[in-house]
Structure 1
Amino acid sequence: MSSSPSSSRPFDLAHTDDLMGFLAATPSPYHAVANAAQRLEKAGFRQVAEEAAWDGESGGKFVARGGAIIAWYVPEGATPATPYRIVGAHTDSPNLRVKPVPDSGRHGWKQIAVEVYGGTLLNTWLDRDLGLSGRLSLRGGGSVLVHVDRALLRVPQLAIHLDRGVNDGLKLDRQQHMTPLWGLGEPREGELIEFLAAEAGVEAGQVAGWDLMAHSVEAPAYLGKDRELVAGPRMDNLLSVHAGVAALVAAAGAEPTAIPVFAAFDHEECGSESDTGAGGPLLGSVLERSVYARGGTPEDRARALAGTFCLSSDTGHAVHPNYAERHEPGHHPMPGLGPILKVNVNQRYATDGRGRAVFAEACERAGVPWQTFVSNNAVPCGTTIGPITAARHGISTVDIGVAILSMHSARELCGAADPYLLANTMTSFLGY
């Protein structure tokens, strides 16, 4: 592997270079959808409105709703009962989100009131330069994206002189200790929204609502002597979103026998129970309408779903060298060794033996190595959109992903080649 980020790098790192740009340009779920849509449109996919009548023509299509996007490609000759092959992911990441009354402060400091979203590693947001991003909803309908990618906010940690026991155990109160500051003086109602409206190029009076969040402004970077690692924000789970879009575009060009689908949902980090979450009706509605648009019946829909398979792609845990005892002794996934198959017999992951076979075959066709992850019996297992997708739609599902360190940190770490290996596996799966 080359030690410099030049064009002489192995071809697999071109994908990772592109991922790093995607991460930097995608600070919120709404930006994830916009950037994915832009890539799909460039590849010839066309957006269809949910409220419009759909046609049964072949080709690539996608729908976008808030922080969720579903795209699919109908090959020539597809029948109403043709099954789907789905890659699922999520667009959201744990972070700090702006409250409905944001302008706060005390003791001469201007602050922004935030709410903790998802299972955030709180300490990773301390003493870090933060920007703001998200969506401003306008009067009369419509919205604009905002992305202030400069040092705007900071959550300052208490000096060790005022907390001598901090290194024996840092305890953070979400309400009291996580409020970022952004200036000096008395807080003024409406100041933040006025500022962000100007940044977005709209009048403050047009803004009727907002969905805003903080993000680290530090750029993604290769790490290590040989640059074989990548550090960056929101790899959980924009790494899978980026790979899924690339795989769908590649699979569409191969004229697959099944209908390849890419589905990226919002709100996975807080349970998926929303209209744009995996627990909502969006995926089922899209698949059903696609069947009916091709002249299908409820019987065709049932047949199509019976033959459908889904790869639920999310990041997983690489073995941590400083905490190896927290991992299952026989399963130590490592960066650089390919995607991981995630298994939990209590259905926190949806993988079963059949799913293992489908995943292994996809890796074999792509020439990609793979690993297995299972939790230590003494450590509770996380979960994904996999079991939700399987249970809600009756679709055979397997959970996979890339092994990372620092999951749910403001900045995570993975192997530099693994995003490319994941995308190749997805392409093999979708294009079969």
Structure 2
Amino acid sequence: MSAPPRFDRGHTDDLMSFLAASPSPYHAVANTAERLEKAGFRQVAETDAWDGSSGGKYVLRGGAIVAWYVPEGAAPHTPFRIVGAHTDSPNLRVKPLPDSGAHGWRQVAVEIYGGPLLNSWLDRDLGLAGRLTLRDGSSRLVNVDRPLLRVPQLAIHLDRSVSAEGLKLDKQRHLQPVWGLGNDVRDGDLIAFLEETAGIPAGEVTGWDLMTHSVEPPAYLGRDKELVAGPRMDNLLSVHAGAAALTAAATSGAALPAIPVLAAFDHEENGSQSDTGADGPLLGSVLERSVFARGGSYEDRARAFAGTVCLSSDTGHAVHPNYAERHDPTHHPRVNGGPILKVNVNNRYATDGSGRAVWAAACEKADVPFQSFVSNNSMPCGTTIGPITAARHGIRTIDIGVAILSMHSARELCGADDPWLLANSLVAFLEG
């Protein structure tokens, strides 16, 4: 018999607040940690010795967070149930020498991160956010959430062919935003401005990880407000749902047969190969230390990993009404049709038949419909942290997510019901 739903449209309201408050991976993990703290989780440092106590714990590393809940009396060989996601999104990121300009315009030098839809960043009011590192090695988050920068598009009068032949952008020449006027471009202007904004003494910032974001807030869209338009749904939608599901499982009072985990990584959009990416050692290290802290041996670690299952939750493609021929002719995921199961026989996604059964059982328990997604055979298929997680840790992994439009745009589109349907299915999965 299915359980009553944990989440409803109020979850989507909360997602919109989370998206607006998380313009960078560093803000996303800070906001996730705050939510976990309110649910009784506590942060543990990687440099400290860990104890085997029960309860909720989490590790922060840069733009990544791994959180887990150890039920009372959990044996060292208890398996894990993991929701995996990523915190980064394609955007424009500030270069090491950010101050530039020409012809009386002050500009900020940026580099392209990931694979954004470049045209979506044109003529859009942009803020600037990220992490500032100080001389003493500490870091501070900064968020200028107002119109600060803009990448102006060339007027049609100066590019008459654009409507017929399409927009052609040079990543170096055409994507540098303006943020003021003046012929005297001084080195250090941008960082000095951010120091003042963040209340940091002048000259204290020696490193930065900064990125642009659209300052237009998320909003309901459509006649009946059945859609949501907003930034960074790929993949903060999954991070938010995973955090909500983990806290729900941890506070439910239910007997948990496995240890529920949320693993939200950085750098998925450029290959996951970093100390905070899914192809790094972070997840394996946290899981192993959890086993050993509870008095486990290598044998217990092997048993725990053998019984572990991971849901790699990331957005996928809803069928596009204007480009239906780009999709598989028999698989047309629709928004508000429930989360999607992502399949690719060449292992661009990690799902196999046994994984499908695990996912189907979770959705049945939560009374949540789900859809299947495969790519058109003639179109290259993207990938996720799923195959990386499966191969690196030997963990059975299933790729799932929510179907959206405008993926990798500065502003994406999803159904208003799908976020809470996803969260309900994740709770059912984590509770086993």
TM range (shorter): over 0.9
Please give the alpha-carbon distance, in whole angstroms, between the structure 2 residues aligned to 1:84 and 1:106.
55
Identity of aligned residues (%): 78
Please give the alpha-carbon distance, in whole angstroms, between the structure 1 residues aligned to 2:176 and 2:53.
51
- Is 1:234 equivalent to 2:232 in the alignment? yes
Amino acid at match of 1:65: R
Amino acid at match of 2:96: P
How far the C-alpha of 1:257 sits from its partner, in A, is: 1.3
For 1:352-391, list aligned pairs within 5 A.
352-391=352-391
- Is 1:88 equivalent to 2:84 in the alignment? yes
For 1:46-195, list aligned pairs within 5 A.
46-167=42-163, 168-186=165-183, 187-195=185-193
- Is 1:27 equivalent to 2:26 in the alignment? no
Q: Aligned to 1:348, what secondary structure does the other structure show?
A: coil
Where does residue 313 of structure 1 map in the other structure?
313
Please give the alpha-carbon distance, in whole angstroms, between the structure 2 residues aligned to 1:421 and 1:339.
7
Number of corresponding residues: 423
Please give the alpha-carbon distance, in whole angstroms, between the structure 2 residues aligned to 1:65 and 1:204.
27
How far the C-alpha of 1:165 sits from its partner, in A, is: 0.3
Amino acid at match of 2:301: R
How far the C-alpha of 1:141 sits from its partner, in A, is: 1.2
**TM-score after normalising by structure 1:** 0.97
Where does residue 285 of structure 1 map in the other structure?
285
Question: Which digits, 9 at most, give the CA deviation of each residue in 1:161-189, with x for residues without a partner?
Answer: 00000112111000000000000002211
Of 244, 247, 250, the match for 2:245: 247
Question: Which digits, 9 at most, give the CA deviation of each residue in 1:45-86, with x for residues without a partner?
Answer: 000000000000000000000000000000012100000000
Please give the alpha-carbon distance, in whole angstroms, between the structure 2 residues aligned to 1:122 and 1:258.
43
How far the C-alpha of 1:411 sits from its partner, in A, is: 0.2
Conserved 8 A contact 1:70-1:261: yes
Conserved 8 A contact 2:229-2:411: yes
Q: Aligned to 2:203, what secondary structure does the other structure show?
A: helix
Please give the alpha-carbon distance, in whole angstroms, between the structure 2 residues aligned to 1:11 and 1:319.
26
Further displaced range: 202-211 or 347-356:
202-211
How far the C-alpha of 1:198 sits from its partner, in A, is: 1.1
Please give the alpha-carbon distance, in whole angstroms, between the structure 2 residues aligned to 1:329 and 1:12.
32
Please give the alpha-carbon distance, in whole angstroms, between the structure 2 residues aligned to 1:263 and 1:309.
13
Question: Which digits, 9 at most, give the CA deviation of each residue in 1:363-387, with x for residues without a partner?
Answer: 0000000000000000000000000
Where does residue 197 of structure 2 map in the other structure?
199
Where does residue 4 of structure 1 map in the other structure?
none
How far the C-alpha of 1:12 sits from its partner, in A, is: 1.5
Please give the alpha-carbon distance, in whole angstroms, between the structure 2 residues aligned to 1:290 and 1:74.
9
Please give the alpha-carbon distance, in whole angstroms, between the structure 2 residues aligned to 1:350 and 1:204.
49
Where does residue 410 of structure 1 map in the other structure?
410
Where does residue 35 of structure 2 map in the other structure?
39
Please give the alpha-carbon distance, in whole angstroms, between the structure 2 residues aligned to 1:44 and 1:299.
31
- Is 1:398 equivalent to 2:394 in the alignment? no
Relative to structure 1, is the Cα distance of residues 226 and 37 closer, same or farther in structure 2, using a 3 angstrom cutoff?
same
Please give the alpha-carbon distance, in whole angstroms, between the structure 1 residues aligned to 2:265 and 2:188.
31
Please give the alpha-carbon distance, in whole angstroms, between the structure 1 residues aligned to 2:170 and 2:240.
34
Where does residue 256 of structure 1 map in the other structure?
256
Please give the alpha-carbon distance, in whole angstroms, between the structure 1 residues aligned to 2:171 and 2:7.
44
Please give the alpha-carbon distance, in whole angstroms, between the structure 2 residues aligned to 1:203 and 1:169.
47
Please give the alpha-carbon distance, in whole angstroms, between the structure 1 residues aligned to 2:240 and 2:202.
33
Conserved 8 A contact 1:333-1:403: yes
Please give the alpha-carbon distance, in whole angstroms, between the structure 2 residues aligned to 1:316 and 1:256.
30
Q: Aligned to 2:179, what secondary structure does the other structure show?
A: strand
Please give the alpha-carbon distance, in whole angstroms, between the structure 1 residues aligned to 2:242 and 2:332.
25
Stretches of 4+ aligned residues off by more than 3 angstroms: none
Where does residue 302 of structure 2 map in the other structure?
302
Structure 2: state its 5+ residue gaps.
Answer: 1-5
Conserved 8 A contact 1:30-1:67: yes
**TM-score after normalising by structure 2:** 0.97
Amino acid at match of 1:268: E
Amino acid at match of 1:150: R
Q: CA-atom RMSD, angstroms?
A: 0.9
Conserved 8 A contact 1:251-1:430: yes
How far the C-alpha of 1:203 sits from its partner, in A, is: 1.4
How far the C-alpha of 1:255 sits from its partner, in A, is: 3.9
How far the C-alpha of 1:11 sits from its partner, in A, is: 6.7
Conserved 8 A contact 1:27-1:133: yes
Where does residue 224 of structure 1 map in the other structure?
222
Please give the alpha-carbon distance, in whole angstroms, between the structure 2 residues aligned to 1:198 and 1:165.
44
